Chains A and B, each alone.
Chain A
Amino acid sequence: MANFYLDNKDLQYHLSHPLMKRIIELKERNFADANVYDYAPQDAEDALDSYRRVLEIVGDVCGEVIAPNAEGVDHEGPRVVNDHVEYASGTVRNLEALNEAGLGGMTLPRRFDGLNMPVTCFAMANEMVARADTGFENIWGLQDCAETINEFATEEIKQRYLPRVSAGETCAMDLTEPDAGSDLGAVMLKASWDEEAGVWRLNGCKRFITNGDGDISLVLARTEDGTKDARGLSMLIYDKRDGGVIVRRIENKLGIKGSPTCELVFNNAPAVLVGDRKMGLIKYVMSLMNAARLGIAAQSTGLSEAAYREALKYAEEREQFGKPIIQFAAVAEMLKNMEAKTLASRALLYETARFVDIYKQLNHISHERSLESEERQEMKFYNRLADGFTPIAKMFASEWANEVAYDSLQIHGGSGYMKDYACERLFRDARILNIYEGTTQLQVVAAINHVTKGTYLEQMLRYEEGERSEATAPLGAQLVELRKRYEAVVERVEALDKEAQGYKDFHARRLVEIAGYILISHIMLRQATEQEADYLNPTKIFVKYAARKIQEAVSYIEASDISDVELFKA
């Protein structure tokens, strides 16, 4: 009986983090729901127990249904029938099982039939689903769109759509167009007001839309005639039940083949506006994207977990020269590094998710009542951390997923290159992770501000205040030294950027990576201090790896003068 929650001690560890208590407090607001809903918790302990039990259900469905279906889904894939998507048969069964288990609307409030669980738990569920079938996670994880509706739509719209998401209907976010990919300000899909019918009408094309034929779609469209930039864009909801959108084709992709990537044609499709006009990209898509990026970090972590496990199993079973290949130092080292990256990816993911949870809940509360000044401070504090950590979580987790999948295939040797083992699917599936929802290069653009503004440095100093055990103290001291080197190169880059504009951009990725390696090392160190038996060795391995990467980046920056800006120009 495979259960992806019960077989993963690291995941269970993260559910027990001390910040969960504060998150539950904010999520449950004095446990008032206990008097109204028979499934609402009585107190914090009860809530945490319910989270654990629900994650156990997710783990069961992932291990028993979704993972066994993954290979079939990869081969069969979805198809277009009469202008609409028909999922692979395994995908249909996956959705059935998740819906029977009542796992729609995981984070939505109970008044919309949701489970009212924190983002952190939803990320855990997504991680497990992605470990079972990375492409399927796209379809199921898109229920996240409901969070954006819950945050910005009117009560009437929420009442209309959110219970349907809780009942298991799927979502899509229709942003990209042929000429508007990373640059969403160029979106041209036209929305015009139909006075007679009292609805907006959508006309135009969207491309690369994941689960484009989902039941409820959030559509970025141009409501302001004659505009050409982000300020003319609004967010609307298109309901598949109303009709008016056809799927012209499904892309033939390298990986995540079970996830239908659609080209859509809108033909007078009716839609309702979410929130205020002109705020579509500026406010709502930014919120949607942040949530989606956290989702990709979870998806990536799940893929790393799967790829690591496949490699470990193979290395233990495969014998060459009379012994299992795991006993060869070169293979063992790869596996240890893969494990360390997977744990580090998860550590960063849930640290970020907790920051997002506290910020989001205080933000929700602020719409119900005015916050106390302490709460306002708290919200600001966690908002900054959530903004700073989300891009690095997405960047590191997705890059590592690729590295772990690459090494997993390598450990399988020639067999890994054949279609016989799961590692080849994981290798293909991984390749999109550092591309969609903002490429790694775009995550750097978001993250570099936090290098400049000092978000990362402040957090490093906070982590340095944390407790250390005898075993972790030397690593702590090493991280202090690395932080000093980070400060020194940031200073150098900022000074030289004044002499030659573009110098900071040139080194942006290196700076963000140095900051990331130090921050992640600190989170790992905290875990190693709390649970030495589980985390000390992987943490030592991770810090060795991080120190090497930092050394490489620092050396590069120190040897780089302003002439490099010209040297590397196109």
Chain B
Amino acid sequence: MEKVTKIVVMAKQVPDTRNVGKDAMTPEGTVNRAALAAIFNPEDLNALEMALQMKDRIGNATVYVLTMGPQRAADVIREAMFRGADGGYLLSGKEFAGSDTLATSYALSCALRKINPDIIVAGRQAIDGDTAQVGPQVAEKLNLPQVTYAEELIDIKDGEVTIKRRLERGSETVVAPLPAVITVNSSAKECRPRNAKRVMKFKYALATSEMAAAEDKTKAFIEERPYLHIVEFSAQDVNPDPEQLGMSGSPTKVKKIENVVFQAKEAKSLTAEDKDIEALMQELIASHTLG
């Protein structure tokens, strides 16, 4: 039998920073996570779609989602299963708390060594941190080629993937040998919707720690159906160097948080006379807005 191609999508559950209300920030100036809905990071959905397209082309392939986060991040895996993923891995534990991008990519790369995928796909960046560092760092740690700003899957066969990348002024098409890490841009195709039958099939899927809290009836139900079990890795499951995890593995230190209040001033009216326009030009140059 031909080998099954294993595709892993790295996804993150993030607070929905696109629809911020007045309660979005705490008085201390940090993100008020309780007030913001937890959602599937938008570009990770583009990544999921590209992974599913790969599976559609290859045929004999699986798509699994890997996410690091608290127990409720299993929602991201279920959402992916509703849209076409075969299952997922939840990397969870207090050891991971406080991770910056370096510690995150380290933890994810440990899990990926264990999973041993043929292709890794991720969104370009998450809307809460906006760093776009985790994907490339994972590629470096695993010593894999990386394709960033991926916009379209052109082809995947014979151990190679062909991808169209979005550039600042145009696009380029590149070929990468597999395994590789691909980070997907928001300009790529939007993710397919949830599928009715998949939702009905996977709605009871639970991660290991969620199962522990479930009723006996639910546990028995899931045990009879292994596809409903979301694999959960603790820190020790992925054999990390504890020093490189969480806070201790995160060299990024927040020095200061400043609450920037936008100070709107009265609108200024100018006439169409040269004198007024000249004055405005001088003002803009003086404030370094121009020049």
**Which A residues fall within an 8 A CB radius of B?**
38-42, 49-50, 53-54, 57, 60-61, 64-65, 97, 100-103, 115
B196 at the interface (CB under 8 A from A): yes
Q: Are B192 and A39 in contact (CB under 8 A)?
A: no
Q: Are B200 and A54 in contact (CB under 8 A)?
A: yes
* Bound CA–CA A115/B201 (angstroms): 12
Q: What's the nearest-Cβ distance from chain B to residue A500, in Å?
A: 57
Q: Which residues of B contact A54 (CB under 8 A)?
A: 196, 199-200
B131 at the interface (CB under 8 A from A): no
* Bound CA–CA A4/B221 (angstroms): 32
Q: Which residues of B contact A57 (CB under 8 A)?
A: 193-196, 199
Q: Are A101 and B193 in contact (CB under 8 A)?
A: yes
* Bound CA–CA A334/B101 (angstroms): 57
B203 at the interface (CB under 8 A from A): yes
Residue interface bits B184-212, CB-to-A below 8 A is 1, else 0:
00000000111111111101000000000
Residue interface bits B217-230, CB-to-A below 8 A is 1, else 0:
00001000101000
- Pick from B192, B203, B227: contact of A49, CB below 8 A: B203
Q: Which residues of B contact A60 (CB under 8 A)?
A: 193-194
- Pick from A38, A97, A102: contact of B196, CB below 8 A: A102
Residue interface bits B229-260, CB-to-A below 8 A is 1, else 0:
00000000000000000000000000000000
Q: Are B196 and A115 in contact (CB under 8 A)?
A: yes
Q: Are B195 and A101 in contact (CB under 8 A)?
A: yes
Q: Which residues of B contact A41 (CB under 8 A)?
A: 200
Q: Are A102 and B225 in contact (CB under 8 A)?
A: no
Q: Which residues of B contact A100 (CB under 8 A)?
A: 192-193, 195
* Bound CA–CA A202/B26 (angstroms): 72
Q: Which residues of A contact B193 (CB under 8 A)?
A: 57, 60-61, 64-65, 97, 100-101
Given contacts A53-B200, A54-B196, A57-B194, 20 further A-B contacts (CB under 8 A): A39-B197, A39-B201, A41-B200, A49-B203, A50-B199, A50-B203, A53-B203, A54-B199, A54-B200, A57-B193, A57-B195, A57-B199, A60-B193, A97-B192, A100-B192, A101-B193, A101-B194, A101-B195, A103-B196, A115-B196
Q: Which residues of A contact B203 (CB under 8 A)?
A: 49-50, 53
Q: Are A115 and B197 in contact (CB under 8 A)?
A: yes
Q: Which residues of B contact A115 (CB under 8 A)?
A: 196-197, 200
* Bound CA–CA A171/B146 (angstroms): 46
Q: Which residues of A contact B225 (CB under 8 A)?
A: 38
A-B contact pairs, 27 of them (CB 8 A): A38-B225, A38-B227, A39-B200, A39-B201, A40-B200, A49-B203, A50-B203, A54-B196, A54-B199, A54-B200, A57-B194, A57-B199, A60-B194, A61-B193, A65-B193, A97-B192, A97-B193, A101-B192, A101-B193, A101-B194, A101-B195, A101-B196, A102-B195, A102-B196, A102-B197, A102-B198, A115-B200
* Bound CA–CA A50/B199 (angstroms): 8
Q: Which residues of B contact A64 (CB under 8 A)?
A: 193
Q: Which residues of B contact A38 (CB under 8 A)?
A: 201, 225, 227
* Bound CA–CA A103/B200 (angstroms): 12
* Bound CA–CA A271/B195 (angstroms): 33
Among B192, B193, B198, B199, chain A packs the most CB atoms within 10 A around the CB of B193
Residue of chain B at shortest CB distance from A98: B193
* Bound CA–CA A115/B196 (angstroms): 8
* Bound CA–CA A97/B190 (angstroms): 11
* Bound CA–CA A42/B225 (angstroms): 13
* Bound CA–CA A101/B195 (angstroms): 4
Q: Which residues of A contact B195 (CB under 8 A)?
A: 57, 100-102
Q: What's the nearest-Cβ distance from chain A to residue B202, in Å?
A: 9
Q: Which residues of B contact A53 (CB under 8 A)?
A: 199-200, 203
Q: Which residues of A contact B192 (CB under 8 A)?
A: 97, 100-101
Q: What's the nearest-Cβ distance from chain B to residue A401, in Å?
A: 28
* Bound CA–CA A145/B192 (angstroms): 27
